[in-house]
Structure 1
Amino acid sequence: MATAAFIGLGVMGYPMAGHLVRKGGYDVRVYNRTHARGDKWVAEYGGKAFRTPAEAAEGADIVFACVGADDDVRAVTTGPDGAFQAMKGDAIFVDHTTASADVARECHAAAREKGLHFIDAPVSGGQAGAENGVLTVMCGGDEAAFDRAKPAIDSFARSCVLLGGPGSGQLCKMVNQICIAGVVQGLSEALSFGRAAGLDCEKVVEVISKGAAQSWQMENRYKTMLQDKFDFGFAVDWMRKDLGICLAEARRNGSTLPMTAAVDQFYGDVQNMGGGRWDTSSLFARLEAMRTKGGKA
């Protein structure tokens, strides 16, 4: 596959599309809702920017998207100006949006009707992972299409795994976000407790990070948490969107997510503090506000 298209040049999509050019060697056509962003990308990486997803997707062997939510996925695939209206037969659409498993299955069926292929492929690793080309990509779809798409995905991935049929990638991403919610809340509670107890929390983490308490969040976020710095990374607004998807899926499959539901509400408190765009580690700020203000965030 020599020609690719990328739809959605946000903080994740922008560098991911760049890796397709510089590491993958693809001729990349791009679309972004804010056209100036697409023009900026072309000035940096080459290729060509288009004014609709359909125009960008025309003639491409593989089309990638990284947009906001379910309705955005529908708009850039099956919408009037969506990619499915112009993609050539047997081409592959890879959706990196974190969305519902339902919309993944819906798009997979719509693609099949048009002689196309659809892979749901949400990612983990954040902006840094996208910029450094080391994302974890969780895929759902048909094995033959996945095998064709994987070399392109590897341009910006450290790990890329097919979990099963349509929707499996999104379900795996839900598992990922449930785990992260619990870990970040636990780390936030631990650091707030340590600070209240008068401990040097940097030394505490230096010790416990060598044992069973170690986590990616601990290694990568504890310093900024202790410095009360949250203006970076994966935003609370995005995490609440993701946890909402998890909770909705749990209601459908009969699973119970009491911790996830609680942390979702805690993130609601952070939003009320004006932290909707803060990093998800800002759960610590909520606890510190409660500790210093008599129990109210």
Structure 2
Amino acid sequence: MAKVAFLGLGVMGFPMAGHLAAKGHDVTVYNRTEAKARAWVERHGGAYAATPAEAARGADFVMACVGNDYDLRAVCLGDHGAFSGMEKGAIFVDHTTVSARVTRELAEIAHARGLGYVDAPVSGGQAGAEGGVLSVMCGGDEQSYARAEPVIAAYARICRRLGDVGSGQMAKMVNQICIAGLVQALSEGLHFAEKAGLDIERLVEVISQGAAGSWQMVNRHKTMAEGKFDFGFAVDWMRKDLDICLRTGDELGVSLPVTALVDQFYKDVQSMGGGRWDTSSLIARLRKFD
């Protein structure tokens, strides 16, 4: 069992930290809004700290799941940042979806301080975090990953090292690129089915068993048909992720035409007031504009 600090208790971080505590790890949490940290301690035990540095002090591992590049820098750097509280040999594990550029920047700073660094973005959404069945894509040196993997296993269905630092973030970009096109296609298919008067449940029962089947189809078709969009990853966050994908694509000289188009469709959903709806809300845009 390890001494672990967990930074960021949003819809993902709160249950992820809870799984660490349930597995017997000694967990100290930090959250920008202290009330969430207190609520976590009331539910799971452990302790909470007033700053990332205080949470990280004496920890073997410091896990972070915050919002974006800016938030990650804020919890890592400065007098109150986690790096200033970590001891040599400790490992920082970042579960935030951020740019590979900031990942490599922070990893370089961490290494100069004698710290390990693993970028480990996750896929599976809130349900995956709550169920402890996330897919975790990792980048980092083999030794740091080997030490961190048994701890990450507390909330992972699968965890794999894909290469050096930054590889995890690159893999997460691939994940988001695939999801964007898939959810748009599913939205168009279900909208077509509605217009054609097909029974959605019977339809999905058949086609989900064939080549068209997907996790999104099985888990989101019912709520999409009912117009309920509060079951997963928010549109605002998806647009943040797709912006990272598109910028990185430009840097690599890679064309992402479908991703760019779906990003604009999500912009339309935001203009409809759906910024906090989950990503399956693309079907609401079709219903509005058809």
With the shorter chain as reference, the TM-score category is over 0.9
Partner of 2:232 in structure 1? 233
Distance across 1 between alignment mates of 2:2 and 2:224: 44
Partner of 2:86 in structure 1? 87
Structure 1, unaligned stretches of length 5 or more? 292-297
Partner of 1:124 in structure 2? 123
Partner of 1:275 in structure 2? 274
**Secondary structure in structure 2 of the residue aligned to 1:89:** coil
Cα root mean square deviation, aligned:
0.8
**Secondary structure in structure 2 of the residue aligned to 1:195:** helix
Output one character per residue of 1:186-223: Cα deviation in whole Å (capped at 9) or x when no partner.
00000111111222222211111111000000000000
TM-score normalised to structure 2 length: 0.99
TM superposition shift of 1:78: 1.7
Distance across 1 between alignment mates of 2:134 and 2:231: 18
Contact 1:138 1:163 in 2 (8 A): yes
Matched, 1:181 2:180: yes
Letter in 2 for 1:123: V
Partner of 2:15 in structure 1? 15
Question: Would you identify which runs of 4 or more consecutive aligned residues in structure 1 move more than 4 Å?
Answer: none
TM superposition shift of 1:232: 2.6
Distance across 1 between alignment mates of 2:280 and 2:78: 36
Distance across 2 between alignment mates of 1:212 and 1:232: 25
Letter in 2 for 1:50: A
Deviates more, 1:110-119 or 1:201-210: 201-210
Distance across 1 between alignment mates of 2:84 and 2:238: 31
The equivalences for 1:224-263 within 5 A come to: 224-263=223-262
Partner of 1:168 in structure 2? 167
**Secondary structure in structure 2 of the residue aligned to 1:155:** helix
Distance across 2 between alignment mates of 1:188 and 1:119: 35
Distance across 2 between alignment mates of 1:178 and 1:119: 22
Contact 1:140 1:169 in 2 (8 A): yes
TM superposition shift of 1:34: 0.3
TM superposition shift of 1:13: 0.4
Letter in 2 for 1:11: V
Distance across 2 between alignment mates of 1:279 and 1:78: 32
Partner of 2:5 in structure 1? 5
The equivalences for 1:51-66 within 5 A come to: 51-66=50-65
Output one character per residue of 1:37-62: Cα deviation in whole Å (capped at 9) or x when no partner.
00111111111111100000000000
Partner of 1:101 in structure 2? 100
Partner of 2:71 in structure 1? 72
**Secondary structure in structure 1 of the residue aligned to 2:281:** helix
Contact 1:100 1:245 in 2 (8 A): yes
Distance across 2 between alignment mates of 1:231 and 1:141: 34
Distance across 2 between alignment mates of 1:138 and 1:162: 6
Distance across 1 between alignment mates of 2:157 and 2:200: 32
Matched, 1:36 2:35: yes
Contact 1:70 1:103 in 2 (8 A): yes
Structure 2, unaligned stretches of length 5 or more? none
Deviates more, 1:235-244 or 1:203-212: 203-212
Contact 1:78 1:110 in 2 (8 A): no
Partner of 2:219 in structure 1? 220
TM superposition shift of 1:118: 0.7
